Amino acid sequence: MEGHSDVPVPPNIPHPPLPTIDIEEAPPSTFLGTWRGWLRDYFLNEEPTVGAAMVPFCFLSIVLFTRHPLKTNFIFDEQEAILANPYVRSVAEPASKLHWLDAFHRDFWGLPHDRSIGSYRPIPDLIWRALWGLGARDQTPFLHHWVNVVLHALNAALLTVIVSKVTKDRAMGWVAGLLFVTCAVLTEAVSGVVGIADVLGALGVLLAAGALTLSAYWMVPAVFLATLFGLFSKESALCAVPLVPFAALMLSRYLHPTRPRAVGRAVLAGLATIGAFVFYVEARRRLFPAPLAPEISAAANAHKPFLARTFAALLRWYAQPILPRDPLNNPLIDAQPLYRIAAGLRIYARGLFQIIYPSTLSGDYSAPQEPIPTKLIFPESIAGAAGMVAPLVLGPVLGIVAWRRARRWRSGEGYFASPHIALVLGQKSGLLALLGVSIVWVVVSYFPVSNIPILLPTVRAERFWYFPALGTSIVLAAIFVALGRRLRAMHLGGLVTVLLIVFVGFQAYAARTHANDYTDDLVFWDATRHAVPRSAKAHLNYSVMQGARGHLEERRVANAVALDLAPTWPMANVYLGDTLCRMHRAEEGWPYYKRGFQLAPNDQNLIALAVQCLWDEKKLQTESLVRTELEELAQAFPGTWLAYLARDTIDNGDSHDGVDPQYRPRGYNQGPKEE
């Protein structure tokens, strides 16, 4: 598939005007004509640069995704990732023993390897620590969030430049960047502070892809460093390992028309990404030696087939920290492998549809919102399978077709007859190759987070689409540009402009509406429980937000809904008992406490919360039915936190005014407890 470097190459012919936007020439003396001319000059007559693209895209990102600077507070995972992150907060504590480089010895939540709950992402922690040190304390996450907003615009700008360079079509580049920056499904990643991991990871992959425009001498170290940056931002950046070499193979003929050497560049890019991946894994294994999951041990896989043993060996080398396994967050933990795959395909199909039509957006999809399917074959699993398999076949086919067209372009066929034909040949072949890369990009970047190869702590999350949306934005841009050219030939060019405005307008409306959900924690969980009414977590967290504001009856009603959806969830049981207890109805709340204790006798925080309220309500100081049954439960679960805290509070509650303070749970919206 190598081109012929000794054949004349068509000269740099001016690009044709934007085919999808009908900007008519107007007399320069008129105000409208002046602005039309300025727009044409800015977007079409100059090759887009990152700086030029950052201006409009940064403005759009700010308008669509910015949270309220005064009313917002830390929401959902932001509580643990920042407020309870000992590494982040230690920068403002002179007595702290944590230093800047300790980010590489801590997990995403600031915990050491022996207490890790998974997710090793040092670069986001470094940024949060810097912002905390600059004064972004626990009153507001506004500055933390603004980093996401600006970086999102930067990613859109990089995408614009890359697409424009490959296709030699400035309109195509600008439309791709516009569709990406306004993609509503990305709101969770951009408006949510913890989404910085996705945004930074994608930035690393985009920089690696952009490095393919450099000479081979500079490409290798640039790809290596960019991939490494992405991996230390989020594990999902491992998609760069296959995608960047594939992009080099498919796109080198259009990025380096005089000396493409596509196979050689692909090999070099592959060595760079593989080298970065190996360096990252080996560095993490040494800097963060977290314990491995028992199910991937050699002993647990000794009697499995060869492929299963090999996969387990690779996972042992990769040394992924143990991730939380909560059936409420991911019910697929309890699914048989084939049913888990069917569910993963269903969720993938729903995500693809959501990219096009984001009518409903949510920050949570916990059980039973996305349940285990009851059968393997159904419309969504079929659509998901087609959406995963077809691109992997069609992508290389498009590359072959593009290569054949590129040979005509590079050989000068059509060029000597008409320079415009040569330019069109170059544009079309580059566009086909880029489309092949894009559709493969969508599948390969989503597959690791699909719950198909491995189980994740979360069954579904819109932030998982940040990487794939880079590919879908290019595909949609190609559709709009191709449709614009066809309709323009029919003198209907204005119609595609209207279609583009309607599509982008709806995306922008959905993004801004969902970003408003991040105003504060109460607004967030209220919107979430309406968007996904079968999420027990959404209803329970909404009840907690109401309780934090002293609205106990609203808390009780929402908590009851959560318990109806997840009757075996210990937290829903204990929290409903706690609500009733705080309403001075401890006897009525005791059955829920009791049920929660039986379901989770080793959950220190839940038990301490409940026992403290029972003490405050004077139910443990003297003989009572509640005290008697609590003592019986303690005897029934020896050696548990239930047994210890119940006995210790009954015996020593007078000296501690209830539960020993060192065992009480951290209050809502508070930082880490002192050790």
pLDDT for residue 416 is more than 70: no
Q: What is the pLDDT of residue 26?
A: 43
pLDDT for residue 463 is more than 80: yes
pLDDT for residue 251 is more than 80: yes
Where helices occur in 66-141 by DSSP H, the ranges are 78, 86-89, 122-133
Q: What is the pLDDT of residue 14?
A: 47
14-28 residue pLDDT tens = 444 444 444 344 444
* Sequence-distant (≥ 6) Cβ neighbours of residue 435 within 8 angstroms: 398, 474, 475, 478
Find the angle CA(669)-CA(674)-CA(675) to the nearest 5 degrees.
135
List, in order of start, the domains of the chain with CATH numbers: 49-65+146-289+323-513 (no CATH), 78-140 (no CATH), 521-663 (1.25.40.10)
Please answer whether residues 392 and 443 qualify as being in contact, where contact means their C-beta atoms are separated by less than 8 angstroms.
yes
pLDDT for residue 674 is more than 50: no
Q: pTM for the whole thing?
A: 0.89
Please answer whether residues 493 and 22 qualify as being in contact, where contact means their C-beta atoms are separated by less than 8 angstroms.
yes
155-178 residue pLDDT tens = 999 999 999 999 888 989 999 999
Neighbours of 218 (CB within 10 A): 11
547-573 residue pLDDT tens = 999 999 999 999 999 999 999 999 999
Please answer whether residues 109 and 102 qualify as being in contact, where contact means their C-beta atoms are separated by less than 8 angstroms.
no
- Distance between CA 442 and CA 183 in Å, rounded? 15
* Upper half-sphere CA count for residue 345 (Cβ side, 13 Å): 22
- State mean pLDDT over 640-656: 93
Pair of tokens at residue 77 = 């995972």
- Distance between CA 622 and CA 632 in Å, rounded? 15
* Sign of the four-CA dihedral 328, 517, 549, 145: positive
Q: What is the mean pLDDT of the chain?
A: 88
- State mean pLDDT over 205-210: 97
- Distance between CA 623 and CA 277 in Å, rounded? 63
pLDDT for residue 36 is more than 90: no
